Homo-oligomer: A and B are copies of this chain.
Amino acid sequence: MTQTATYRVGSNIAFIKYWGVADATINIPLNNSISMTLADAYTTTTVTWDVDGRLATDEVTVDGERFAPKKAQRVVDHLDRLRAVAGVNYRAQVTSANNFPMASGIASSASGFAALTVAGCAALGLDLDPTRLSAIARRGSGSASRSLFGGFVEWEQGHDDVTSVAHQLYTEDHWDLRDIVAVISSEEKKVSSAGGHLLALTSPLAEGRRDHVDGWLAEVRRAITERDIARLGPIIELDALAMHSVMMTSNPSLLYWQPGTLTILHAVQHWREDDGLQAYFTIDAGPNVHLICEADTAAEVETRLAQLPGIERVIVSQAGPGPMRIFEDQT
């Protein structure tokens, strides 16, 4: 029996966002979401099950840091889910590394919990299809459900643990889009995304977003089908602004933006209006800005971003595949 497995899983950037939970215990979201899986921002995770009973506890190491029990709890909770599926009670050693910095505006929980799920299940010898893995990953982190698939992915809201899963809309070679992340702050977030999801329904504006998001999802699907950036862009900007509207009018108010966030939003609007540059922003639960554009525009966007003040670094990624198993001689 295989006791260990290593997987590399890309993070993803949502075009229509996941924000707010209908059922917080198993992360049933308030709406469907659509994302692009990232090729160049990924987590590599090895799970080794301690079948011989040598470990007293699960051991979790992320980016070289051995997590203390409290910090490891969310990973341990997820290992419990894998143990429950397999009907075992082995402890595990988990070693995980991101190829992108924490708090960079790239969701490490998406790639991290997806990688933990696939590596953990593979190491247990479970032969689960991606849909089932998506459901399990969702319970670790909602957006992780989408990273089980490559390319362009939709997570169906569903209504229970079986139906709330992601599926692929198109593979990564359907459309050569780029996600260019302008990292403007590496400060820790005061409220984690997991905590924020619980607050969404305290916003007087949450219902308005929910009432409109089905139309935006349809537009985004069509834009992806037709590879139409001028159709995609305005909708992803609108949904990002609507999500941040919900965040900042929650109780308490979640104001993720920093001054540098607005510098970039205004710059992108000017680049489009003055020069016709087809780049559009989206913003996750943090201050950093993702610019989405087609491959032939990416170099120009990068050059312009580099000239703005207050940007710590720029990370570029194209659309990527689903989970990839890494064998020992490759690591």
* A205 and B245 within 8 A (CB): yes
- For A253, the chain B residues whose CB sits under 8 A away are 237-238, 241, 269
Say whether A45 faces chain B, with CB atoms less than 8 Å apart: no
| A206 CB contacts on chain B under 8 angstroms | 208
A242 touches B208 (CB 8 A): no
The residue of chain B having its C-beta at the shortest distance from the C-beta of A263 within the complex is: B259
Pick the contact of A242: B204, B238, B259, B266 (CB < 8 A).
Answer: B204
Cβ of B260 and Cβ of A265 under 8 Å apart? no
Query: Separation in Å of the A216 CB from the closest CB of chain B?
Result: 9
A77 contacts partner chain B, Cβ-Cβ < 8 Å: no
Which B residue's beta carbon lies closest to that of A242? B249
Cα distance A204–B263 in the bound complex, in angstroms: 25
- Checking B208, B237, B255 against A262 with a beta-carbon cut-off of 8 angstroms, the contacting residue is B255
Cβ–Cβ < 8 Å partners of A237 in chain B: 253
Q: How far is the CA of A253 from the CA of B241 in the complex (A)?
A: 9
Query: Cβ of A170 < 8 Å from any Cβ of B?
Result: no
Q: Is the CB of A248 within 8 A of B241?
A: yes
Q: Does A262 lie within 8 Å of B266, measured CB to CB?
A: no
SS of A interface (majority):
helix
Give complex CA distance A212, B206 in Å: 12
A242 to chain B: which residues have CB within 8 Å? 204-205, 245, 249
Whether the pair B259, A262 counts as a contact (CB closer than 8 A) is: yes
Q: Tell yes or no: A127 within 8 A of B by CB.
A: no
Q: Which residues of B contact A261 (CB under 8 A)?
A: 262
Beta-carbon contacts of A243-284 to B below 8 Å, as 1s and 0s? Answer: 001001101010101111111011001000000000000000
Does A329 interact with chain B (Cβ within 8 Å)?
Answer: no
Inter-chain contact B255/A269, CB cutoff 8 Å: yes
Q: A205-B208, A238-B249, A241-B249 are in contact. List 20 more A-B contacts (CB 8 A).
A: A204-B209, A204-B212, A204-B238, A204-B242, A205-B205, A205-B209, A205-B242, A241-B248, A245-B245, A245-B249, A253-B269, A255-B262, A255-B265, A255-B269, A258-B262, A258-B266, A259-B259, A259-B263, A261-B262, A262-B262
| 29 chain-A/chain-B pairs, Cβ below 8 angstroms | A204-B208, A204-B209, A204-B212, A205-B245, A206-B208, A207-B208, A208-B208, A237-B253, A238-B249, A238-B251, A238-B253, A241-B245, A241-B248, A241-B253, A242-B245, A242-B249, A245-B245, A245-B248, A245-B249, A255-B265, A255-B266, A255-B269, A257-B262, A258-B262, A259-B259, A259-B260, A259-B262, A261-B262, A262-B262
